[in-house]
Amino acid sequence: MSNRIDGRRIQPHCEGSGSPATETVGASARDLRALARDRLDAFAAGRTTGPPTGTDDIQCPDDDFDRCIDRTVPSPRLWIHQGADADAIDRADVQQHEIGDCYVMAVLAALTNSPEGRNFLRGAITENTDAAGRVLSYTVTLHQPQRRWFFPTTFTPLRVDVAPVYARGHAGARPGDGSNEVWVPVMERAYAQYAGGYNAMGHGGSIADAMEVVTGQPARRVALRPLFGRYGPDDLQRDLLAGRLVAIASRDDVEQTRPDLVPNHAYVVTGIEQQAGKPALRLWNPWGIVQPAPVPFDKMNSLFVQVDVGSVK
């Protein structure tokens, strides 16, 4: 696989993770994808119906997520302070499953890294309830970019009404864990409706474009090349201290030297740590399982193609 490039916009292919139930310590990214596919195939073999149409004989193809919108969440709650969550809005809430939208999941996870981002998310979703307090729908505020030559990009607020029904394979809690926290699948469905459907969203896309649509603020792209496009520890420290969103896209051959990294995939950059006296990137995989080891900054240009930096103000 090679990266798809639209102008300067690197678009990770974003293969879905499947529906992981347990962490597989020491497994390579390829092994994890194989295990996820096996679980997905087993799940698909037991399917008999598609969306709720009143019939029992509609097959639900694996890759047709728009046809398979039939999952509801009982007693949904937007935000839940669970287990080891540092906040009710925590990056552990963001878990990409079968849909190939890592570039959107990375943006949502990056927003959870700062108080400004978490407050932004709280303000982005409104619950619409009936007189008895039952959730009828959600209204999510996204932003439509208007790009013009020689002028800064402007953004128009776009309010997207989201029914509380989600595609099979939607992002969010792991299947079977009993969680009814829904802010992630709500945001995912709103972005899908903006993009033209789950299928349109689910084959990879631009991290920076997703940052702009979600936040309504311009995003900066730094192309990484062996001798150019440097993004160093000072740059990262400055961006993280300012509460900015930082995500990075891996190369298509990254597994050859780093089997714990997924090719053509979006990662959230969460911080810096020292390894053998040298700075290294801490990364978070929006699959939510088996996080990669830190990446030394001097290896970054050989493993990744682009850093994307966004903000909420």
The average pLDDT across 179-184 equals: 88
Q: How far is CA 137 from the centre of its chain?
A: 22
- pLDDT, tens digit (0-9, with 9 covering 90-100), for 99-122: 899 999 999 999 999 999 999 999
On the question of pLDDT at 149 being above 90, the answer is: no
User: What is the distance between the alpha carbons of residues 246 and 266, in angstroms, rounded to a whole number?
Assistant: 10
**Residue 88 pLDDT class (50, 70, 90 cuts):** confident
Res 4: pLDDT: 32
Q: In degrees rounded to 5, what are phi and psi of residue 86?
A: -75, -25
Close Cβ partners of 238 (under 8 Å, ≥ 6 residues apart): none
For residue 150, the tally of other CB atoms under 10 A from its CB is: 4
The average pLDDT across 133-152 equals: 89
Res 219: pLDDT: 94
Q: Taking a C-beta distance cutoff of 8 angstroms, is the pair 193, 65 a contact?
A: no
Q: Taking a C-beta distance cutoff of 8 angstroms, is the pair 119, 191 a contact?
A: no
Domains of the chain: 4-18+63-215 (no CATH), 220-310 (3.90.70.10)
On the question of pLDDT at 197 being above 70, the answer is: yes
On the question of pLDDT at 184 being above 60, the answer is: yes
Q: How far is CA 299 from the centre of its chain?
A: 24
**Residue 229 pLDDT class (50, 70, 90 cuts):** low
Res 153: pLDDT: 84
Look at 4-8, 104-108, 224-228 and tell me which has the smallest mean pLDDT: 4-8
Query: Which uninterrupted H or E stretch holds 183?
Result: helix 183-195
The average pLDDT across 162-191 equals: 82
Beta-bridge mates of residue 249: 266, 306
> The tokens of 148 are what?
């013009």
Res 40: pLDDT: 40
Res 23: pLDDT: 34
**Residue 146 pLDDT class (50, 70, 90 cuts):** confident
Look at 74-83, 117-126, 264-273 and tell me which has the smallest mean pLDDT: 74-83
> The tokens of 86 are what?
């540092």
Res 86: pLDDT: 78
